[in-house]
């Protein structure tokens, strides 16, 4: 592609993000504001909307989110469950889990979905869960979350279940230096994302696709 094509893609990303943000509900805006006040960056509005749509398409009833206070995505996923099933949010950070629990308390009066917030490392909590019980897993946050979650995904997901890795281009975080597209970026997350991309796309148990939504989504479907 030439420079004009790349410029058009950049404008398209900005337009899609602005459009998604303009359509956010008050609950989503409040979640984003609460997270910002606590210094927890949130993913893009378009990314959260895509996760909502994906959960609806799958008619998900059991969802796991992994990450550091991803409030906007969690609100979207709770809404996609339409008052049924269960959402389990796993966060090893004290600040992140406190915000999630506060939000779950506020949501408990408006949904029949079972909301469970777990303060634990991924590699400690996920092995305790029953296998083939989950429709959708969404991973964000620290680099360590990604490989540990993918190791458990084949066991946890039902047939045709989906795992989604956010920030696959490793643009987020103070250490980012151009992320995955920049070979000179040797930050922990960029290194892990390059490794993970190859691992997932070479795994015969999954069909996968990397998309530029947000800061990069890798969507993998269990065969």
Q: Domain 3-222 classified CATH 1.20.120.1750?
A: no
Query: What residue ranges do the domains of the chain occupy?
Result: 3-222
Please report the sign of the dihedral spanned by the C-alpha atoms of residue 77, residue 37, residue 43, residue 128: negative
- How does pLDDT run across 128-185, given as a tens digit for each residue? 999 999 999 999 998 999 999 999 999 999 999 999 999 999 998 888 899 999 999 9
State the pLDDT at residue 125: 97
First to last CA, the chain: 34
- How does pLDDT run across 55-85, given as a tens digit for each residue? 999 999 999 999 877 899 999 999 999 999 9
- Computed over its alpha carbons, how large is the radius of gyration of the chain? 17
**pTM of structure:** 0.95
Residue 3 has pLDDT above 90, yes or no: no
Q: What is the DSSP letter of 181?
A: T
- How does pLDDT run across 85-118, given as a tens digit for each residue? 999 999 999 999 999 999 999 998 899 999 999 9
Residue 41 has pLDDT above 90, yes or no: no
């Amino acid at each position: 592609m030439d420079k004009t094509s790349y410029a058009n893609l950049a404008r398209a990303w900005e337009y899609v993000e602005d459009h998604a943000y303009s359509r956010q509900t008050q609950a989503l805006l409040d979640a984003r504001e609460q997270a910002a006040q606590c210094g927890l960056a949130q993913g893009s509005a378009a990314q959260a909307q895509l996760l909502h749509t994906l959960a609806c398409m799958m008619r998900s009833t059991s969802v796991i989110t992994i990450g550091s206070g991803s409030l906007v995505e969690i609100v979207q996923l709770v809404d996609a469950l339409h008052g049924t099933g269960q959402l389990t949010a796993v966060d090893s950070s004290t600040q992140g889990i406190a915000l999630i629990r506060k939000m779950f308390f506020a949501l408990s009066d408006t949904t029949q979905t079972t909301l469970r917030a777990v303060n634990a490392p991924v590699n400690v909590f996920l092995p305790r869960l029953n296998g083939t019980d989950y429709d959708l897993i969404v991973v964000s946050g620290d680099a360590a979350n990604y490989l540990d979650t993918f190791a458990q995904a084949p066991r946890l997901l039902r047939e045709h279940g989906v795992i989604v890795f956010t920030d696959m281009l490793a643009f987020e975080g103070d250490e980012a230096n151009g992320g995955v597209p920049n070979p000179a970026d040797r930050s922990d997350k960029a290194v892990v994302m390059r490794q993970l991309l190859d691992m997932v796309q070479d795994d015969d148990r999954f069909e996968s696709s990397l998309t530029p939504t947000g800061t990069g989504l890798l969507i993998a479907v269990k065969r």
